[in-house]
């Protein structure tokens, strides 16, 4: 049965013309649909190989470096699992313990950590204008080191979440949809509500909703972005989502009503994020070390959030969805009312009903990360994967 599943996926992969070899993976919207499908299909094949206890190791030695500038559970352990499965050891760059605190440049650090490195995974998601820029700086630095002969191989840079996008998450979300609805072709015309939801905390990144609207629109879906007035995303990500929807035959629109977004939806994704303007102000205050102003900003934001406690994925809200039975997605951890907080993004009963679905959603992530690195390092992914059977 497993081999039949893998052969079906290999046939899907063989029909594609991806261009991933030797490339970093930073933003989904910089990649073709064939690239995105190839990453996801290879991830599915790896997941099946793992279930069969068949290894898909491609390295005999070498390091994968991780740089986490924000807290993480799922992505941190997914990256560790992914690189281990490929045959790499893992080393985390602790910027406090490194020479970065003594003024070492990004260009120098990137080369010093890369002598035997095959991959660098970076999470830098908190500050608009910072994370993606930093990833590109690291990528340029290792390119220079490789071209000048300092590095024997150029490590692949993988975006584990930045200020713009969270590709390992959104591709995992998409794989759950592919499995749930029975194929990419069945996603066209499906309505997904990417909605802001109340949280008793502030400062959550914009990259998840931005990633979702820019990926789901590539597959002909009807994407509705909902949030209260003032909780805007970065304008460029709205423009690209709209253009992708037009190109794929799907649709993209925005609303200030959670009820409107949920009405007739096939999928709902209620997730809190901070307003773009707040994140920009927070970045400025952090850089200036203005702790008093930061405390005041947090108070203001929490007060503003409290005006929208009705933005919760409740049983009544779910009744508005298609058949009252839309698939609930979340990147986790969710703010669950009466579980992790007094009031949050989602009602306890709703989350519990879909809890295993969200675990399965998260379960794709190690394989997505493995696939990104694999496709960058292996020119003929199809033949290499067949050799594992």
Q: What kind of architecture, by CATH, is found in domain 2-165+365-387?
A: 3-Layer(aba) Sandwich (3.40)
pLDDT at 347 (0 to 100): 98
Decide if pLDDT at 1 tops 70. Answer: no
pLDDT tens digit string along 329-375?
999 999 999 999 999 999 999 999 999 999 999 999 999 999 999 99
Q: Which residues contact 152 (CB under 8 A, 6 or more apart)?
A: 115
Q: Select from 3.60.15.10, 1.10.600.10, 3.40.50.1370, 1.10.10.410 the CATH code of 170-363.
A: 3.40.50.1370
Mark 123-155 as b/e (b = at least 16 C-beta within 10 Å): bbbbbbebbbebbeebbebbeebbeeeebeebb
Q: What is the pTM of this model?
A: 0.95
Decide if pLDDT at 202 tops 70. Answer: yes
pLDDT tens digit string along 242-287?
999 999 999 999 999 999 999 999 999 999 999 888 888 888 887 8
Strand order in the sheet with 117-124: 89-92, 63-68, 117-124, 156-162
Beta bridge partners of 25: 158
Mean pLDDT of 48-71: 95
Tell me the pLDDT band of 95, cut-offs 50, 70 and 90.
confident
Number of H helices and E strands in the chain, helices first, is 15, 9
Count Cβ atoms below 10 Å from residue 158 Cβ, excluding itself: 26
2-165+365-387 and 170-363 agree in CATH topology: yes
Count Cβ atoms below 10 Å from residue 304 Cβ, excluding itself: 16
Domains of the chain by residue range: 2-165+365-387, 170-363
Mean pLDDT score of the chain: 95
The answer to whether residues 6 and 44 touch, using CB atoms and an 8 Å cutoff, is: no
């Amino acid at each position: 049965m497993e081999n039949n599943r893998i052969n079906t996926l290999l046939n899907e992969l063989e029909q594609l013309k991806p261009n991933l070899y030797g490339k970093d993976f930073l933003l989904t919207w910089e990649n073709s649909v064939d690239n995105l499908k190839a990453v996801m299909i290879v991830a599915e094949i790896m997941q099946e190989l793992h279930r069969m206890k068949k290894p898909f190791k491609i390295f005999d030695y070498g390091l994968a470096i991780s740089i986490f500038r924000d807290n993480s559970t799922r992505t941190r352990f997914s990256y560790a699992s992914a690189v281990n499965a490929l045959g790499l050891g893992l080393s985390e760059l602790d910027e406090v313990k490194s020479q970065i605190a003594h003024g070492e440049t990004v260009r120098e650090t990137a080369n010093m950590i890369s002598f035997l490195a095959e991959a660098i995974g970076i999470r830098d998601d908190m500050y608009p204008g910072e994370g993606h820029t930093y990833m590109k700086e690291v990528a340029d630095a290792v390119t220079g080191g490789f071209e000048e002969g300092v590095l024997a191989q150029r490590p692949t840079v993988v975006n584990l979440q930045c200020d713009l996008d969270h590709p390992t998450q959104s591709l995992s979300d998409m794989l759950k949809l592919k499995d749930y609805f029975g194929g990419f072709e069945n996603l066209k015309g499906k309505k997904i509500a990417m909605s802001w939801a109340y949280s008793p905390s502030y400062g959550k990144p914009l990259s998840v909703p931005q990633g979702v609207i820019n990926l789901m629109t590539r597959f002909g879906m009807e994407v509705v972005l909902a949030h209260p007035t003032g909780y805007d995303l970065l304008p460029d990500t709205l423009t690209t989502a709209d253009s992708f929807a037009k190109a794929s035959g799907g649709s993209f629109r925005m609303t200030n009503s959670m009820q409107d977004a949920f009405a007739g939806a096939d999928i709902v994704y209620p997730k809190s994020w901070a307003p773009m303007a707040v994140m920009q102000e927070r970045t400025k205050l952090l850089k200036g070390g203005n702790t008093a102003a930061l405390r005041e900003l947090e108070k203001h934001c929490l007060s503003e959030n409290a005006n929208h406690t009705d933005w919760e994925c409740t049983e009544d809200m779910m009744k508005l969805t298609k058949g009252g039975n839309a698939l609930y997605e979340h990147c986790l951890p969710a703010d669950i009312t009466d579980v992790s907080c007094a009031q949050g993004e989602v009602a306890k009963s709703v989350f519990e009903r879909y809890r295993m679905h969200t675990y399965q959603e998260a379960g794709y992530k190690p394989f997505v990360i493995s696939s990104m690195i694999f496709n960058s390092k292996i020119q003929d992914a199809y033949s290499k994967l067949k050799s594992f059977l």
